């Protein structure tokens, strides 16, 4: 996300009057520094910060990346076009040297600082698991690394890799590597076509942009992460900006539309902000297309005039924030990850911390590192040496030095969430505690099952009652326990579960449009087909407890809570209408987030260091479920909290030397399997194991 400042423009050919082209026919972009483009950077970067901080209202704030991609294509192509206009060729050594001087010092500083800070708050196993991400970031391939790792950028439990955000920098840096060569090649091939030369070049670039967009749209249906992170699927945005830079005559033609320039600029900026909010429901690719079009319109109109919009974007404080936007982007995500380990903060609090801290570090980095290196005139005369040193530093840091840097500092002991009582005997961690193995095992078995169709979701076939399990990842984590119950009790077990998808039809707690569409398919499948086709004897519904209920257990009459209450009632009624007996397993206690128990155990000496608190009283949804239980003979609301936290509100990280929580929302597989007998006893006591 490293959009570049325009290069110096002295000595360029003067554009031909009314054409935006030099006398030789090479399009010549606008000259000089344009403060409003820095202002646009500021808007883009803080949209991303709000998104990453978890501000629900800005759940589409990731389009700030789209804005940066368009700006990058626009500005870097202007640099290249000035080379072609001034000397007829691209000065590759100079170009790549300036990119290294612009990008590497700040990113290297951020990566090293992040490695040190992350090693201070994370366990050794977590640090070890993050090293490959640091390496990929230094080597400019982070996007492909995260595609391979299948990090879910939009899930409620977003990947907490401290360098996740470097994927976008990798996309830009790969573009910077290839685009100068491609543009020079296209210009050379079209060189013999006379005055239509640049029309042909623009046509070729437009075709490539359309191909990239079509490919991104195609992948977004089945592989949203691949579509989001891929360089090939992002190229259309960079090329869109490049096309605008290659067509400077459009600014001349806008003279005819001068009265509408200012309103269009204002509407474009407002549209970008609106597209970043939850008021717009669209796939990331669709949102990206809208952001691309709006950014192009905004650039064109503010370059031409822009009225109040240009005045705002050129306002001193906004411009200064835009000047350091690259550093702000580099630092904001590590701030969120590290600070998130130090305490529980609301989204608004986290956003405020991230904005202030990342902006301050960006300003410091710009003053002490970036600007001195960029202004050192002697380096302008040694471009090949700069490129060589840049490559050497990247390779050396990525392949050799980042691991020892991350492992140099001793990690602190975990800060207990609930301190042991005076005189209490402390329990050492068992000798066989293996954090890495627990993490690798995951929180649930891989079902190899497609819940939208039901194919392969029949796990056990017996002669007893047919049980249908529905719900999200908390239902998935109980599959092994319920499988053991079904096998022991001669039941049939069918599952229709998927992480992030509530069992209540019409309720969605993950805002990502692709995920919502997927959950809608599963819910339709369950309520319109599976229940009627299977006619299960028992339906077991399981869902996660949302963090908002920890800070406020009472019903607050928000839109989200109204939706959860109404869909719960409606879904229970629809299940009961099939003649099934319905069991709702109430949401289980969750481990604290900062640090969650397994993280804590990774740096602890005693089990009691990682004890935490969880509300003992039922929250409003559990109260509703118990009221429904009392009103219906075929509905039971089952509370398993005491199995997970026997001493509520105090919860242990380990019970009988078994780690309880895999992360802040899921049990470990070993502990979840241990719930088979207690769950069977609960079902048996209610006569649910008999037809």
Query: 531-581 pLDDT, tens per residue?
Result: 988 899 999 999 999 877 877 888 888 888 899 999 999 999 999 999 999
Contacts with 557 (C-beta within 8 Å, 6 or more apart), sequence order: none
Q: In this predicted structure, which of 10-24, 91-105, 108-122, 271-285 has the lowest mean pLDDT?
A: 10-24
Q: State mean pLDDT over 618-626.
A: 95
Q: In this predicted structure, which of 123-127, 129-133, 615-619 has the lowest mean pLDDT?
A: 123-127
Check whether residue 477 and residue 544 sit in a common domain.
Answer: yes
| Whole-number pLDDT of residue 23 | 44
Domain-located, residue 75: yes
Q: State mean pLDDT over 134-160.
A: 76
Check whether residue 466 and residue 328 sit in a common domain.
Answer: no
The token pair that represents 82 in the structure block? 């000035």
Check whether residue 155 and residue 285 sit in a common domain.
Answer: yes
Q: In this predicted structure, which of 256-265, 573-582, 630-639 has the lowest mean pLDDT?
A: 256-265
Q: State mean pLDDT over 604-611.
A: 90
Domain-located, residue 413: no
Single out the residue in 388, 406, 424 at which a domain terminates.
406
| Whole-number pLDDT of residue 369 | 85
Give the best-scoring range by mean pLDDT among 27-36, 250-259, 353-362: 353-362
Q: State mean pLDDT over 203-220.
A: 93
Closest CA to 280 of 111, 57, 567, 443: 57
Single out the residue in 406, 432, 454 at which a domain terminates.
406
DSSP string over 531-569: HHHH--SEEEEE-PPPTHHHH--S----HHHHHHHHHHH
For residues 449 and 431, what is the distance between their CA atoms, to the nearest angstrom? Answer: 36
Check whether residue 134 and residue 45 sit in a common domain.
Answer: yes
Check whether residue 463 and residue 392 sit in a common domain.
Answer: no
pLDDT level of residue 10 (50, 70, 90 thresholds): very low
Angle at CA 416, nearest 5°, toward 414 and 421? 140
| Whole-number pLDDT of residue 26 | 62
Q: Over the stretch 48-65, which tens digit does the pLDDT of each residue have?
A: 999 999 888 898 899 999
- Tell me which of 188 and 643 has the higher pLDDT: 643
Check whether residue 227 and residue 368 sit in a common domain.
Answer: yes
| Whole-number pLDDT of residue 164 | 94
| Whole-number pLDDT of residue 416 | 46
Write the CA distances from 130 to 146, 168, 173, 441, 460, integer angstroms: 11, 18, 21, 17, 38
Q: Over the stretch 484-505, which tens digit does the pLDDT of each residue have?
A: 999 999 999 999 998 889 999 9
| Whole-number pLDDT of residue 27 | 64
For residues 456 and 667, what is the distance between their CA atoms, to the nearest angstrom? Answer: 25
Domain-located, residue 594: yes
State how many domains the chain has: 2
Q: State mean pLDDT over 69-94.
A: 87
Check whether residue 392 and residue 485 sit in a common domain.
Answer: no
Q: State mean pLDDT over 466-471.
A: 95
Check whether residue 174 and residue 247 sit in a common domain.
Answer: yes
Q: Over the stretch 336-361, which tens digit does the pLDDT of each residue have?
A: 999 988 877 888 999 999 999 999 99
Single out the residue in 346, 380, 406 at which a domain terminates.
406
Check whether residue 193 and residue 98 sit in a common domain.
Answer: yes
CATH of the domain at 678: 3.40.50.1110
| Whole-number pLDDT of residue 568 | 96
Query: What is the percent of the chain where pLDDT is above 70?
Result: 89
Domain-located, residue 3: no
Contacts with 529 (C-beta within 8 Å, 6 or more apart), sequence order: 454
- Asked if residues 657 and 430 have their Cβ atoms less than 8 Å apart, the reply is yes
Q: In this predicted structure, which of 161-175, 566-580, 603-617 has the lowest mean pLDDT?
A: 603-617
Pairing of strands 650-651, 612-613: antiparallel
Nearest-Å Rg of the Cα atoms of the chain is 28
Domain-located, residue 504: yes
Check whether residue 552 and residue 673 sit in a common domain.
Answer: yes
- Asked if residues 73 and 234 have their Cβ atoms less than 8 Å apart, the reply is no
**DSSP 3-state percent helix, strand, coil across the chain (nearest 5):** 60, 5, 35
- Tell me which of 244 and 305 has the higher pLDDT: 244
The token pair that represents 391 in the structure block? 């490559």
Evaluate if residue 256 carries a pLDDT over 50: yes
Check whether residue 143 and residue 214 sit in a common domain.
Answer: yes
Q: State mean pLDDT over 426-448.
A: 90
- Asked if residues 635 and 580 have their Cβ atoms less than 8 Å apart, the reply is no
Domain-located, residue 640: yes
Q: What is the mean pLDDT of the chain?
A: 86
Domain hosting residue 550, numbered range: 442-685
Query: What is the percent of the chain where pLDDT is above 90?
Result: 56
**Sheet containing 538-542: order of strands:** 458-460, 492-497, 466-471, 538-542, 581-585, 635-638
Check whether residue 261 and residue 119 sit in a common domain.
Answer: yes
For residues 111 and 345, what is the distance between their CA atoms, to the nearest angstrom? Answer: 24
Q: State mean pLDDT over 262-267.
A: 93
Domain-located, residue 29: no
Domain-located, residue 485: yes
């Amino acid at each position: 996300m490293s959009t570049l400042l325009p290069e110096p423009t002295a000595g360029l050919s003067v554009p031909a009057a009314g054409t935006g082209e030099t006398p030789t026919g090479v399009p010549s972009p606008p000259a000089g520094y344009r403060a409003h483009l820095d202002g646009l950077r500021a808007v883009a970067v803080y949209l991303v910060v709000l998104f990453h901080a978890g501000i629900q209202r800005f759940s589409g704030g990731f389009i700030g990346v789209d804005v940066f991609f368009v700006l990058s294509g626009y500005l870097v192509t202007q640099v290249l076009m000035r080379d072609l206009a001034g000397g007829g060729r691209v000065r590759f050594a100079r170009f790549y040297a300036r990119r290294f001087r612009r990008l590497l010092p700040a990113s290297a500083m951020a990566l090293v600082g992040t490695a040190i800070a992350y090693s201070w708050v994370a366990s050794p196993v977590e640090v070890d698991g993050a090293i490959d991400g640091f390496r990929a970031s230094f080597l400019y391939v982070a996007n492909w690394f995260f595609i391979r790792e299948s990090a879910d950028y939009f899930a409620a439990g977003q990947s907490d890799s401290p360098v996740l955000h470097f994927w976008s920098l990798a996309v830009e840096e790969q573009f910077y590597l290839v685009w100068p060569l491609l543009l020079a090649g296209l210009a050379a091939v079209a060189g013999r076509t006379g005055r239509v030369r640049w029309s042909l070049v623009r046509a070729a670039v437009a075709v490539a942009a359309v191909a990239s967009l079509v490919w991104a749209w195609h992948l977004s249906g089945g592989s949203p992460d691949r579509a989001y992170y891929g360089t090939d699927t992002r190229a259309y945005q960079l090329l869109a900006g490049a096309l605008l830079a290659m067509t400077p005559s459009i600014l001349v033609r806008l003279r005819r539309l001068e009265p509408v320039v200012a309103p269009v600029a204002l509407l474009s900026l407002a549209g970008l902000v609106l597209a970043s909010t939850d008021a717009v429901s669209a796939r990331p690719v669709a949102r990206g297309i809208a952001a691309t079009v709006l950014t192009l319109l905004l650039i064109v109109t503010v370059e031409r005039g822009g009225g109040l919009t240009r005045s705002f974007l050129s306002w001193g404080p906004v411009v200064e924030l835009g000047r350091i936007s690259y550093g702000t982007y580099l630092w904001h995500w590590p701030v969120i990850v590290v600070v998130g380990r130090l305490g529980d903060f609301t989204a608004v609090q986290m956003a405020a911390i991230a904005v202030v801290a990342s902006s301050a570090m960006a300003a410091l980095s710009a003053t002490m590192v970036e600007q001195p290196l960029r202004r050192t005139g002697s380096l302008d005369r040694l471009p090949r040496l700069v490129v060589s040193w840049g490559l050497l530093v990247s390779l050396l840091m990525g392949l050799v030095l980042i691991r020892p840097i991350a492992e140099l500092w001793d990690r602190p002991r975990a800060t207990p969430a609930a301190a042991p009582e005076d005189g209490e005997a402390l329990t050492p961690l068992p000798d066989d505690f293996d954090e890495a193995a627990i993490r690798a095992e995951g929180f649930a078995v891989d079902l190899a099952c497609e819940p939208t169709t039901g194919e392969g979701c029949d796990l056990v076939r017996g002669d007893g009652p047919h049980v249908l399990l529905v719900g999200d990842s908390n239902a998935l984590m109980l599959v092994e326990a319920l499988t053991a119950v079904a096998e022991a009790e001669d039941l049939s077990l069918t599952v229709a579960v998927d992480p992030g998808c509530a069992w209540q039809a019409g309720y969605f707690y993950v805002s990502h449009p692709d995920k919502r569409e997927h959950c809608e398919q599963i819910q339709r499948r369950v309520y319109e087909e599976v229940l009627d086709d299977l006619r299960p004897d028992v339906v077991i519904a399981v869902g996660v407890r949302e963090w908002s209920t920890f800070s406020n257990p009472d019903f607050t009459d928000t839109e989200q809570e109204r939706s959860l209450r109404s869909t719960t009632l409606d879904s229970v009624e629809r299940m009961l209408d099939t003649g099934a007996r319905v069991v709702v397993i109430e949401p289980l206690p969750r481990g604290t987030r900062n640090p969650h128990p397994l993280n804590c155990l990774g740096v602890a000496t005693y089990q009691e260091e990682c004890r935490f608190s969880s509300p003992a009283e039922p929250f409003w949804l559990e109260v509703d479920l118990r009221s429904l239980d009392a009103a219906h003979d075929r509905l039971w609301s089952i509370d398993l909290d005491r199995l997970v936290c026997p001493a509520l509100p105090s919860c242990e990280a380990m019970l009988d030397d078994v780690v309880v929580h895999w992360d802040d929302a899921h049990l470990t597989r070993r502990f979840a399997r241990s719930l088979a007998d207690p769950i069977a006893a609960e079902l048996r006591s209610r006569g649910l194991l008999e037809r």
